[in-house]
């Protein structure tokens, strides 16, 4: 399928450009007042994108390609700027970002190098998520609406302190969050890529533009709904906190399938292997049940989590042995502190005294979460 080939030219991980384009199409459908629109769960139609990835994962490059390729740095028919590119947001003051969002409050704003560990920047995301920007100005608090679309890139999100993860996830619920991964190639192969000069792989932006603006309002048919239910049920096996509401994650999965159907202009998704693979990859990369996928873990935290996730149940002694094998000379007390931090953030669980695990099978509460899709459909 030619359009998928064009997306792969933007980023080696097709879900990265797909997440941005899904948010853009949702915004277009909101502007057109489509009843069965992508992003319907939010009344204002505003669901931003947050790309997380280490340096060298081509976050900036892919965002820049989309910004320039779609011609977002232009004026629309109403005389307003369509998009705004903001370099190095992490190095900027919060006031600078506030001013940008105030000026371009109905535009598509790309913020590169955003800092998720700067409290002021996280507050900005909270306000954007609520559709209102509030900041101190001239000695008083001034409020102005933000109806634009925010696309951010950040290198990492550190594991928050105890009981703070829920605040972070509440903000991220209003964003399509995707982790940009490094290409699965050997170190020596990077030189071959540099020498081959892949910059000549020009994207056919007309194909992508036409897919974005095409007025396709088709809904999911019964076969597609059944497929989505199966994918959703499989995904819910990753749920670590069965008591947390999953309606927004469920709507994200629904948005993904609706986006692929309309963006690729497919009458029946179940008859397209390429579409099914794309949907499966997007659900795996974007629907957020397990926060570990987006968090940057310190060496000890990562070693402990990897050890626990390798087996159904792991003892404290096995964890200590794994840390020693990894060359981490850490006291048992320090290991206990990290275990408690992971438990308080519901990343791991203490299955019984001295034993730890992550949930891999559906219990009754998780089975109820798998039925959320039926309510959405």
In order of their start, the domains of the chain are 2-215 (3.40.50.300), 297-357 (1.10.10)
**What pLDDT was estimated at residue 296?**
81
Give the C-alpha separation, 224 to 369, whole Å.
Answer: 20
Short-list 98, 23, 20, CA closest to 59: 20
**What pLDDT was estimated at residue 372?**
80
State mean pLDDT over 1-19.
95
> Using only C-alpha atoms, what is the Rg of the chain?
22
State mean pLDDT over 122-130.
83
Q: How confident is the model at residue 6 (pLDDT cuts 50, 70, 90)?
A: very high
Short-list 155, 119, 164, CA closest to 347: 164
Q: What does 139-166 look like in DSSP terms, one character per residue?
A: TEEEEEE--SEEEEEES-EEPPSTT-HH
Alpha helices in 35-164 (DSSP H): 59-69, 94-103, 119-130
- The tokens for 193 are 């890529």
Give the C-alpha separation, 22 to 285, whole Å.
Answer: 14
Give the C-alpha separation, 148 to 84, whole Å.
Answer: 11
Q: Specify the pTM.
A: 0.88
pLDDT digits (tens, 9 = 90+) for 142-153: 888 888 999 999
Alpha helices in 72-118 (DSSP H): 94-103
Give the C-alpha separation, 258 to 177, whole Å.
Answer: 18
């Amino acid at each position: 399928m030619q359009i998928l080939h064009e997306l792969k030219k933007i980023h080696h991980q097709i879900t990265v450009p797909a997440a941005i384009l899904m948010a853009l199409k949702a915004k277009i459908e909101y502007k057109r007042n489509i009843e069965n629109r992508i992003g319907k769960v939010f009344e204002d139609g505003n669901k931003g994108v947050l790309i997380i990835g280490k340096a060298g994962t081509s976050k900036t490059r892919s965002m820049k390609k989309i910004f320039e390729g779609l011609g977002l740095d232009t004026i629309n028919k109403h005389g307003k700027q369509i998009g705004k590119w903001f370099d190095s947001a992490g190095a900027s003051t919060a006031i600078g970002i506030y001013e940008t969002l105030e000026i371009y409050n109905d535009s598509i704003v790309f913020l590169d190098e955003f800092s998720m560990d700067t409290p002021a920047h996280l507050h900005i995301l909270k306000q954007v998520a609520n559709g209102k920007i509030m900041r101190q100005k001239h000695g008083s608090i001034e409020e102005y609406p933000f109806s634009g679309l925010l696309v951010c890139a950040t290198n990492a999100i550190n594991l928050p302190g105890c009981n703070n993860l829920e605040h972070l996830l509440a903000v991220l619920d209003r964003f399509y969050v995707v982790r940009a991964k490094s290409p699965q190639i050997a170190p020596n192969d990077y030189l071959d890529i540099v020498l081959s000069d892949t910059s000549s792989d020009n994207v056919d932006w007309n194909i992508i533009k036409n897919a974005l603006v095409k007025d396709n309002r088709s809904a999911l048919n019964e076969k597609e709904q059944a497929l989505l239910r199966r994918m959703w049920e499989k995904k819910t096996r990753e749920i670590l906190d069965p008591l947390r509401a999953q309606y927004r994650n469920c709507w994200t999965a629904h948005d993904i399938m609706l986006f692929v159907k309309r963006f690729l202009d497919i009458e029946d998704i179940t008859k397209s292997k390429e579409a099914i693979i794309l949907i499966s990859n997007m659900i795996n990369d974007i629907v957020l049940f397990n926060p570990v996928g987006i968090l940057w873990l310190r060496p000890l935290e990562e070693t402990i989590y990897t050890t626990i996730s390798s087996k159904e149940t792991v003892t404290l002694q096995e964890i200590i042995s794994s840390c020693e094998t990894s060359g981490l000379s850490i006291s048992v007390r320090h290991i206990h502190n990290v275990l408690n931090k992971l438990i308080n953030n519901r990343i791991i669980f203490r299955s019984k005294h001295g034993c730890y695990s992550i949930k891999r099978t559906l219990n009754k509460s998780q089975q109820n979460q798998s039925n959320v899709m039926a309510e959405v459909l």
